Amino acid sequence: MASTPQQSDGPVRPRGPRTRSRASHSLESVLAGAVEILDESGAQGLTIRALATRLGGGVASVYWYVSGRDELLDLAADSVLAGVLEATADVGGGDPIEDIRTIALTMFDAIVDRPWLGAYALRDTTSQIHSLQLYERIGEHVMRLDLTPRQTFHATSAVVGYVIGTAADLGQEPPAAVVSGEVSREEYMASAAAQWRALDAADFPFIHHILDEFDGHDDRDQFLGGLDLLLAGLRLQAQG
C-alpha cells in the first residue's frame, strides 16, 4: 500500500527553469503524506522528520502549514473523515435509527481500516471541520426522533462516544508489537484467550462464562452488539 517514493532525482529535466532544488508543498500534500505514513507505521511512525523526507524537503517547512505535530495528527485524521462523509451522504431513506446505525457502522469500518484514526478523530471540532460535519449529520438523524434538545444532544454524543471509544480500543496495538510486525493481532488475541483460560474459574466466573465467545470473536459483531443495545434504548426513548 505504500505510495511510490516520489523520489526527486536531482536537477534533471532538459530545459525550463524547473530547478527542483526547492520543494513545494501545500496543506493537502502535507496531510496526504502524513496519512500515508500513518497507514504504514501508525502514529508512532509519524515524525516530522519522516514526513519532511517523504515530501522531499526540510523539516521546518512542515511548520508553515501546521502549528506542530498535534495539529498535524488532528488535521490528518480529519481529512480522512471526508471519505466517511461522502460515503454516508445518501443515507436517509428510511427509519432514522436504521440510518444512524448505518453511519455509525461506516465510521467504525473506517477506523478499523486505519487504527490510528480512533485516537484523533472527533477530538476538536474547532479545528476539525469534517468531524463537526459528521457529528452534525448523525445529529440530524437523531433530530428526526422528535426528542427534547437535551435528549437529542445526549443521544448523539453517546453514539459518537461509543463508536470512537470502541474503535479506539480495538485500534490499540498490544504493548509494542503489531507495528513492528513481531506479533500479529491474531496471535495476541489467542495468547490473551489462553491466559484467560488459565485463570481460576472460582475467581473469574464471568471470564470463563464468555471465554468461548471471546476466543476468535469478530470485532465487528462485538461492536454491533453494543451499538444495537444503545439504539434499542434510544428507540424506546423515542416511543415515549
Partner DNA sequence: ACCTGAACACCGTTCAAGT
By the criterion CB under 7 A, which residues form the site for DNA? 22-25, 46-50, 52, 56-61, 63-65, 68-70
Query: Sign of torsion, CA 235 84 179 220?
Result: positive
Closest separation in Å from C-beta 199 to its own copies: 8
Closest separation in Å from C-beta 56 to DNA: 7
Binding positions for its own copies, 41-100, rule CB under 8 A = 68, 70-71, 74
- Nearer CB in complex with its own copies: 117/164: 164
Residues listed for the chain: 240
CA–CA dist 128, 75 (Å, integer):
7
Longest dimension (CA), the chain: 80
CA–CA dist 32, 228 (Å, integer):
35
Which does residue 116 bind out of its own copies, DNA, none, counting CB within 5 to 8 angstroms by kind?
Answer: none
201 burial (CB, 10 Å; 0-12 / 13-18 / 19+) is exposed
Task: Tell me: does residue 202 bind its own copies (CB under 8 A).
Answer: no
Among 29, 53, 106, 237, binds its own copies (CB under 8 A): 237
Which does residue 41 bind out of DNA, its own copies, none, counting CB within 5 to 8 angstroms by kind?
Answer: none
Residue 142 half-sphere exposure toward CB, CA atoms < 13 A: 27
Task: Tell me: does residue 157 bind its own copies (CB under 8 A).
Answer: yes
Among 20, 154, 185, 197, binds its own copies (CB under 8 A): 154
Q: Which one of the spans 78-86, 102-110, 152-160, 179-187 is the region binding its own copies (CB under 8 A)? A: 152-160
| CA-wise closest residue to 106 among 125, 90, 93, 123 | 90
Query: How many residues make contact with its own copies (CB under 8 A)?
Result: 67
Please, what is the Cα angle at 111 between 113 and 5, to 5 degrees? 50
Q: Which one of the spans 11-19, 57-65, 94-102, 149-157 is the region binding its own copies (CB under 8 A)? A: 149-157
Residues 6+ apart with CB under 8 A from 94: none
Per-residue cell: 134: 459528521
Which does residue 210 bind out of its own copies, DNA, none, counting CB within 5 to 8 angstroms by kind?
Answer: its own copies
DSSP 63-82: HHH-SSHHHHHHHHHHHHHH
Closest separation in Å from C-beta 140 to its own copies: 5
What are the residues binding its own copies (CB under 8 A)? 68, 70-71, 74, 122-127, 132, 135-136, 139-140, 142-143, 149-158, 161-162, 164-166, 168-169, 172, 174-176, 191-192, 195-196, 203-207, 209-210, 212-214, 217, 221-222, 225-234, 236-237
